[in-house]
Structure 1
Amino acid sequence: MTSLANNRVLVIGGSSGIGLAVAESAIAADAFVTIASRSRPKLDEALKALGPKAQSAVLDTADENALEAFFSANDPFDHIVVSAAQTPTGPVRKLALADAQHAMESKFWGAYRVARFARLSERGSLTLISGFLSERPSAMSVLQGAINAALEGLARGLALELSPVRVNTVSPGLIDTPLWSKMDKDAKQAMFEKVAANLPAKTVGQPADIANAVLFLMATPFATGSNVRVDGGGAIA
């Protein structure tokens, strides 16, 4: 594995959850990190925890002009991670079409736009966060599975198109992130315990678990076109 010391890392969606954990791990590996999201207050709060080797940028992956301007104004990054997405869920016949289109727009097309405009060093890497529903569909989350599968297919194709830049995906299972903070505390705990009981790993994941996989892909020069599943065994349970 190669050192990440002094590498320039951009984490889109880096102000909370998995993205913030990736930023923390990259800084611990002595990289310089830029976190990006749409929310200036969330970015400012995250910077307090990240320290002097981090900076931030307000960036919306739905805004192609802003993305093009941002990358044009910055030197190439050594590694880019895309964790930002908003994906409403529900059965196909009940989820509003506008919500379904928004989910695809946010997670798939957001990553696609980043890939289109990103400037990366010659041996750099692009890592997209997908999800294990691409391999283990759920009757209640059909769209999410389809989006994740599309994202993983996009990454494999980009690994060829952008070579020698390396492109990979990390596929999480259920992760304890602020995404679940709106749930009643007891209801969330009951859900986590139920899921954990049915997983071979017997626990739900933490953001740091996904960050470990992302840093492995950043620091492994022979990894490209790969999908690393970190789901507690969810895809085989």
Structure 2
Amino acid sequence: MNTFTDQHILVVGGSSGIGLATAKAFAAAGAQVTIASRSAGKLKEAADAIGHGARAVELDTADNVAVETLLGGQTWDHVVVSAAKTPGGPVRQLGLDDAYAAMESKFWGAYRVARAAKIRDGGSLTLVSGFLAVRPSATSVLQGAINAALESLVRGLALEFSPIRVNAVSPGVIRTPLWNGMDEATRSAFFASAAGKLPAKRVGEAEDIANAVLYAAGTGFTTGSTITVDGGGSIA
């Protein structure tokens, strides 16, 4: 297991789901963790759940001044971006304002963080994309395009930012609060159906993605890569 003792980690989107699981994993490995999120109400609870002296900072990645202040205010060992709010639907039904908001949140938010982040040489930046980048859906075309753009950004930044390492982690269907808008019966049926179609025969957990993020951060010979953690969804 990688250890990150006394290293400074920032997890943008660390107040819930994949980001929270990632922050917990870094803290358990000895890191000094800061989580950032727009969800002010969730931050304290999340920091308490992480423990190990985790720090919480309110941040909207659409606010470039706030991003530059936080990201450039100190040198980080590793930065992770998992925050995104992406309205979805068929292209001809999704309003342009919603489409612009999706790109703003997931792509431009990550772009601002990458641009502002002060990361030590040999440290890392990890962006969370998604398997729709390689296995598109007819009802989620924009999400696939955004994820593909993030992964292309990662490859370019790995060259530009060297020797800082830049990677992406691409999740499949993960059991997170993202799905809490469904009623329990519908959600359970959805997960069961998804699991049945996957070679792994289960849906993912946030901890599965956290493991991949820590691998990317802790493996000094990994850069410009996309680590797919989708239970085999991209090949099924």
TM-score over 0.5 (shorter chain): yes
For 1:30 and 1:61, locate their aligned partners in 2 and report how far apart those are by CA, in whole Å.
Answer: 27
Aligned to 1:55: 55
Cα distance between partner residues in 2 of 1:186 and 1:4: 40
Deviation at 1:2, TM superposition (A): 5.7
Equivalences, count: 236
Q: How does 1:75-114 map to 2 (within 5 A)?
A: 75-114=74-113
**1:141 paired residue number:** 140
> Gaps (5+ residues) in structure 2?
none
CA distance in 1, matches of 2:109, 2:72: 18
Structure 2 vs 1, CA of residues 2 and 173 (structure 1 numbering), >3 Å: closer, same or farther?
A: closer
Q: CA deviation at 1:4?
A: 1.2
Is 1:9–2:9 an aligned residue pair? yes
Identity of aligned residues (%): 61
Partner of 1:165: 164
SS in 1 for 2:204: coil
Q: In the TM superposition, what is the alpha-carbon distance from 1:40 to its structure 2 partner? A: 1.7
* Separation in structure 2 between the aligned mates of residue 154 and residue 172 of structure 1, nearest angstrom: 17
The one-letter amino acid of 1:31's match is A
Residues 14-42 of structure 1: per-residue CA shift (max 9 Å, x gap): 00000000000001111110000012210
TM-score, normalised to structure 2, is 0.98
Deviates more, 1:39-48 or 1:183-192: 39-48
In structure 1, C-alpha distance between the alignment counterparts of 2:107 and 2:160, rounded to whole Å = 17
- Taking structure 1 as the reference length, what is the TM-score of the superposition? 0.98
Which residue matches 1:26? 26
**Aligned CA distance change for structure 1 residues 112 and 236 (closer, same or farther; 3 Å):** same
Match of 1:221 in 2: 220
Residue type at the aligned position of 2:34? T
Asked if the contact 2:2–2:215 (Cα under 8 Å) also holds between the matched residues in 1, the reply is no
The 8 Å contact of residues 17 and 177 in structure 2, kept in 1 or not, is answered as yes
> What secondary structure sits across from 2:92 in the alignment?
coil
Runs of at least 4 residues off by over 3 Å: none
